[in-house]
A and B are shown apart, each in its own frame.
Chain A
Amino acid sequence: MNAPAIRLHGVTKRFGDHTAVRDLDLEIPEGTICGLLGPNGSGKTTTIRMILGIYGPDRGTVELFGGSPDHRRRRRVGYLPEERGMYRTMKLLDHLVFIGEIRGMRPREGRRRGMAWLERLGLSEWADRRVEDLSRGMQQKAHFIATVLHEPDLLILDEPFSGLDPINQDLLESIVLELNARGATILFSTHLMDQAERLCRRVCLISCAEKVLDGDLREIRRAEDRGDLHLVFEGDEGWLATPEVATATRAGEGWRLTLAPGIDPQRILARAVEAGVEMRRFERVEPRLHEIFVRHARTGDSR
Chain B
Amino acid sequence: MTRAVGAIVKREYLQRVRSRWFVIATIAGPILFGGIAVLPIVLSDAPTSDRLVVIDRTGELAGAMAPALTGIGYQVERVDADADLADFIQAVHDEEVFGVLVLDSATLRRGAARLVVGSAISPMREVALRQIVGQGAIATRLRDEGPELLALLGGGVLEVDRLDRGTEVESADFALAYFGAFLLYITLLFYAVAVMRSVLEEKTSRVIEIIISSVRPIELMLGKIVGVGAVGLTQLGIWAVSLVVLAKLGLPRLTAARPELEILGELGSVVPGVGHLALFLAFFLGGYFLYSGLYAAVGAMTNSDQEAQQAQAPLVVLMVVPAVILPGVIQNPDSVLSLWTSQVPFFAPVLMFARAVSGAASPLEIGASLVGIGLTTVGVAWVGGRIYRVGILMTGKRPSLREVWRWVRVG
Listed in ascending order, the chain A residues whose CB lies under 8 Å from chain B are 49, 52, 54, 71, 74-75, 77, 79-81, 83-90, 98-99, 101-104, 146
Contact = CB atoms under 8 A, between A and B. Distances in A.
Nearest to B6: A101
Contacts of A104: 3-4
A243 B19 CA distance: 76
Contact of B210 (A84, A88, A89, A101): A84
Contacts of B3: 101-102, 104
B306 interface: no
Given A54-B393, A102-B4, A104-B4, A81 B15 contact: no
11 contacts: A52-B213, A54-B393, A71-B216, A85-B205, A85-B207, A85-B210, A87-B15, A87-B201, A87-B207, A102-B215, A103-B4
Secondary structure at the A interface, as helix, strand, loop or mixed, is loop
A105 to B, nearest CB: 8
A154 to B, nearest CB: 11
Contacts of B215: 71, 102
Contact of A86 (B6, B15, B205): B205
A129 to B, nearest CB: 15
Contact of A102 (B8, B205, B206): B8
A33 to B, nearest CB: 20
B214 interface: yes
Contacts of B207: 84-87
Given A71-B216, A102-B4, 15 more contacts: A54-B212, A54-B393, A75-B214, A77-B213, A79-B213, A83-B395, A84-B206, A84-B207, A85-B205, A85-B208, A85-B210, A90-B11, A101-B4, A102-B211, A102-B215
B15 A90 contact: yes
Given A54-B393, A86-B205, A87-B205, A99 B15 contact: no
B1 interface: yes
Contacts, number: 70
A83 B7 CA distance: 23
B11 A81 contact: no
A136 to B, nearest CB: 13
Contacts of B395: 83
A296 to B, nearest CB: 28
B209 interface: yes
Top 4 closest A-B pairs, CB basis?
A: A85-B206, A101-B7, A85-B205, A85-B207
Nearest to A80: B210
Given A83-B206, A98-B7, A104-B3, A89 B213 contact: no
B15 A74 contact: no
A89 B211 CA distance: 16
A299 to B, nearest CB: 29
Nearest to A74: B214
Interface centre among B205, B207, B213, B393, by most chain A C-beta atoms within 10 angstroms, is B213
A81 B205 contact: no
Interface in B351-378: none
Interface string B213-225: 1111000000000
B15 A102 contact: no
A71 B1 contact: yes
Contacts of B393: 49, 54
A36 to B, nearest CB: 16
A11 to B, nearest CB: 18
A91 B183 CA distance: 33
Contacts of A99: 210
A80 B214 CA distance: 12
B214 A84 contact: no
A98 B1 contact: no
Contact of A98 (B11, B19, B201, B206): B11
A174 to B, nearest CB: 23
A80 B207 CA distance: 10
A77 B212 CA distance: 12
Nearest to A147: B210
A146 B210 contact: yes
Interface centre among B1, B205, B209, B211, by most chain A C-beta atoms within 10 angstroms, is B209
Contacts of A71: 1, 214-216
B29 to A, nearest CB: 22
A104 B7 CA distance: 9
A51 to B, nearest CB: 10
Given A98-B11, A104-B3, A88 B205 contact: yes
A102 B209 contact: no
Interface in B160-215: 201-202, 204-215
Contacts of B4: 101-104
Interface in B79-133: none
A84 B210 CA distance: 7
Contacts of A88: 205
Contacts of B213: 52, 54, 74, 77, 79, 81
Nearest to A150: B214
B7 A102 contact: yes
A146 B210 CA distance: 9
Nearest to B406: A16
Interface centre among B201, B204, B212, B214, by most chain A C-beta atoms within 10 angstroms, is B214
A103 B210 CA distance: 11
